[in-house]
Amino acid sequence: MECVFGLVGDGFALVAADTSAVHSILVHKSNEDKVMILDSHKLLGASGEAGDRVQFTEYIQKNVHLYEFRNGIPLATAAAANFTRGELALALRKNPYSVNILLAGYDKDVGASLYYIDYIATLHKVDKGAFGYGSYFALSMMDRHYHSGMSLEEAVDLVDKCIIEIRSRLVVAPPNFVIKIVDKDGAREYAWRESIKDAGVSAA
Amino acid sequence: MARYDRAITVFSPDGHLFQVEYALEAVRKGNAAVGVRGTDTIVLGVEKKSTPKLQDSRSVRKIVSLDTHIALACAGLKADARVLINRARIECQSHRLTVEDPVTVEYITRYIAGLQQKYTQSGGVRPFGLSTLIVGFDPDTGVPALYQTDPSGTFSAWKANATGRNSNSMREFLEKNYKETSGQETVKLAIRALLEVVESGGKNIEIAVMTKEHGLRQLEEAEIDAIVAEIEAEKAAAEAAKKAPSRDT
């Protein structure tokens, strides 16, 4: 079961997601990147139906880029979150998307922020959030260990604690995770946590 | 002739589309714009008419980005330009969304030209009154390209071209002086062409340089002034060299 979680630290925000692409009982791949770099200073971690996830997040990304070209400045994180939520809300009673999103961003005036957007277009600005079965464990760990203004080391340590809980306590636990961060220097991949590497083709 | 410019869908007896030709007139009245393609740099320049004292010049951007690797300058009706540019920007993102690839310069030029042509064959609308100069680097090959479109909807690729006011003089200058250039030399060639028809000085010229690595960069007034000074010095030196030998003989 897919898992996305994130938190806000001191001058940065962090989003982690599992990296398995699953179809019924088959794992297609275990290095599927579900945390999209929305623009230079925004991350979009998404979980949900595979088609919806990719289609919806790419649609949001292109519209965020269009705004930047039209207006000469990037969209603020709050604005991007509200736009995303609006699109989900519009589709909700017509042709809903089954996608849960954690949107993290850094703005010069506001600092780092994290938005929780679920598939029925709920929008909350939060310090920590999580989706999926893994959220039961991730949220509990974060409730216990999170405090505002964590350093990057402390935050990654907390993320690792969450991943350990998920791996050990969830019956169909995803083996691999990706961690991305966004701060004043931009959005970027921080690390992977792999317990299974996709095996290469063995020599004949 | 007046009978044939009412509805643009009507050809005149001698095969003219008068509305399109009138649109070209509007372009000829617009500010001068020049584009030069180098081996690794493409330069766009436009004439900046004197800004009214109270106007915020930053809100009047004449060279715009369509995407990270494509830029556009135009001559003619600026309001029409806004509409075309908006449609082109949407198309750039739409193309990225559907085929997961950035547009090539030719693709977006064909799109803009197609749009301009549509308005020469519809009822109740007039053509767009502008010609565009579109530059960029193709995403896969990295090859620089410069294209021009006009109100009729035709487009073609150029090594260097000019449009707008006095474009004929600028084009003549470019034909005489064009050679394969790169980097700063391309910028100088574009400025020299503009200076043929525009009052010299950074205040009256807007220059943007596109490179593969850094995308589009608008030059500061001070930078332009410096290059203009270089060009004037070179011109003066060339003049002096011409006069000197005749004095010896």
How many beta-carbon contacts under 8 Å exist across A and B? 21
C-alpha dist (Å) from residue B194 to B43, B70, B154, B168, B202: 12, 21, 24, 12, 11
Contact A59 B67 (CB under 8 A): no
Decide if pLDDT at B43 tops 90: yes
Closest CA to A65 of A47, A44, A80: A80
> Chain A contact for B61, CB < 8 A?
yes
**Residue B84 CA neighbour count, 13 Å, CB half:** 36
- The shortest CB-CB distance from B65 to any of A59, A63, A69 is to A69
**What does the alpha-carbon distance between residue B19 and residue A143 come to, in Å, rounded to a whole number?**
70
Model pLDDT for residues A30-58, shown as the tens digit of each residue: 999 999 999 999 999 999 998 999 999 99
Decide if pLDDT at B249 tops 60: no
> Chain B contact for A70, CB < 8 A?
yes
The token duo for A87 is 């699109």
Q: What pLDDT score was predicted for residue B16?
A: 87
Model pLDDT for residues B145-203, shown as the tens digit of each residue: 999 999 999 999 999 999 999 999 999 999 999 999 999 999 999 999 999 998 877 78
Model pLDDT for residues B209-243, shown as the tens digit of each residue: 999 999 999 998 889 999 999 998 998 998 998 88
Q: Rounded to two decimals, what is the model's pTM? A: 0.89
C-alpha dist (Å) from residue A169 to A28, A162, A163, A178, B154: 23, 10, 10, 19, 65
> Chain A contact for B99, CB < 8 A?
no
Q: What pLDDT score was predicted for residue A50?
A: 85
Question: Of A195-204, B18-27, B201-210, where does mean pLDDT reach its minimum?
Answer: A195-204
> Chain A contact for B60, CB < 8 A?
no
**What does the alpha-carbon distance between residue A135 and residue A169 come to, in Å, rounded to a whole number?**
12
Model pLDDT for residues A6-37, shown as the tens digit of each residue: 999 999 999 999 999 999 999 999 999 999 99
The token duo for A14 is 């962090």
Q: What pLDDT score was predicted for residue B221?
A: 87
